[in-house]
């Protein structure tokens, strides 16, 4: 009589084989289903990314149009207030002068916000041109000093520009760098009731340079340090609320620093002051030989 082994696998082995084949089949079916699910998820993610891109583009375009359209009426308000304050159309009473000055001041703040929005929209749409050139740090500092002289109205605060030590000539976009530093300095002056705002530059070992704006002002609580460089981010404290702007300046500064190949940062302690810094490469890529 033929044994089991001669005619094929024994019954229980055969059953085990069939079972494992069925299991393998079930597993394959399950895997195929999962695969189909993953593919569908990918397609959905792609569609969402596309929608997000479109939404960002639409937002940037809307911001750009809106800010552009706002400029003409704001400028005409500013010109009319200037004419009124120059008494071109006759004298003003003391009260009228106060009110017109108030309109002028608000129109200027509005114009600043519109400029920030327009810049931000341009950066987001990738439409900001970088125009690098060789320049000396001292020249940038003295231009900034000149710009801030007329707005230094608080005698209790000193604005100090440290003489840059061993900082080589830079090859970058000086107007973008100046815009970042202007944002840091005007914030520092706004939030420093008394003491000092100190601007300095330090050459780092890896061909980078760090600019710092240190103030002895009200400082910023640690929970805001991470979000402060994001769009529309503002700190919730009485003074910071009273002097609120758009919350766009620091976000714009961060994006400009990234365009220059660098980054921004902050150290701050409430009640002691803040140091905002930007670190950028001394030379943007492809710098020509001096």
Contacts with ligand ADP by CB under 6 A lie at 183, 187-188, 191, 215, 217-218, 220, 228, 233-235, 240, 244-251, 274
Min dist CB 93 to ligand ADP, Å, is 33
Contact between 92 and 100 under an 8 Å Cβ cutoff? The reply is yes
CA dist., res. 172 & res. 168, Å (int):
12
For ligand ADP, the closer of residues 120 and 259 by Cβ is: 120
Q: What tokens were used for 285?
A: 């890529």
Min dist CB 229 to ligand ADP, Å, is 8
For ligand ADP, the closer of residues 255 and 283 by Cβ is: 255
Which residue's beta carbon is nearest to the bound ligand ADP?
A: 245
For ligand ADP, the closer of residues 178 and 234 by Cβ is: 234
Q: Residue 107: helix, strand or coil by DSSP?
A: helix
Min dist CB 53 to ligand ADP, Å, is 25
Contact between 131 and 170 under an 8 Å Cβ cutoff? The reply is no
Q: Residue 17: helix, strand or coil by DSSP?
A: helix
* Positive/negative CA dihedral, 186, 189, 190, 192: positive
> How distant, in Å, are the alpha carbons of 84, 86, 174 from that of 93?
11, 13, 44
- DSSP β-ladder status, 208-215 and 273-281: antiparallel
For ligand ADP, the closer of residues 178 and 240 by Cβ is: 240
For ligand ADP, the closer of residues 108 and 233 by Cβ is: 233
- DSSP β-ladder status, 170-172 and 157-161: unpaired
Min dist CB 104 to ligand ADP, Å, is 19
CA dist., res. 263 & res. 110, Å (int):
28
For ligand ADP, the closer of residues 27 and 160 by Cβ is: 160
């Amino acid at each position: 009589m033929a044994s089991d082994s001669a005619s094929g696998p024994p019954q229980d082995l055969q059953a085990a084989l069939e079972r494992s084949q069925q299991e393998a089949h079930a597993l394959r079916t399950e895997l195929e289903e999962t695969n189909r699910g993953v593919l569908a998820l990918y397609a959905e993610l792609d569609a969402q990314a596309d929608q997000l891109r479109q939404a960002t583009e639409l937002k940037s375009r809307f911001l750009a149009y809106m800010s552009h359209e706002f400029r003409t009426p704001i400028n005409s308000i500013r010109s009319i207030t200037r004419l009124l304050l120059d008494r071109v159309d006759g004298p003003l009473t003391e009260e009228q002068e106060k009110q017109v000055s108030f309109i002028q001041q608000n129109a200027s703040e509005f114009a600043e916000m519109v400029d920030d929005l327009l810049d931000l929209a341009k950066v987001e749409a990738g439409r900001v041109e970088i125009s690098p050139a060789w320049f000396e740090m001292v020249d940038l500092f003295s231009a900034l000093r000149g710009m801030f002289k007329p707005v230094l109205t608080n005698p209790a605060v000193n604005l100090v520009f440290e003489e840059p030590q061993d900082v080589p000539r830079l090859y970058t976009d000086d107007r973008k760098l100046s815009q970042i530093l202007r944002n840091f300095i005007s914030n520092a002056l706004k939030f420093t009731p008394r003491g000092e705002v100190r601007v300095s530059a330090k050459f780092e070992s890896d061909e980078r340079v760090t600019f710092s704006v240190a103030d002895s002002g009200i400082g910023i609580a640690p929970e805001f340090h991470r979000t402060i460089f994001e769009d529309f981010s503002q700190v919730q404290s009485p003074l910071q609320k009273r002097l609120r702007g758009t919350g766009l300046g620091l976000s714009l500064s961060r994006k400009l620093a990234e365009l220059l190949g660098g980054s921004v940062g902050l150290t701050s302690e409430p009640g002691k002051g803040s140091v905002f810094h930007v670190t950028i490469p001394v030379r943007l890529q492809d710098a020509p030989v001096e």
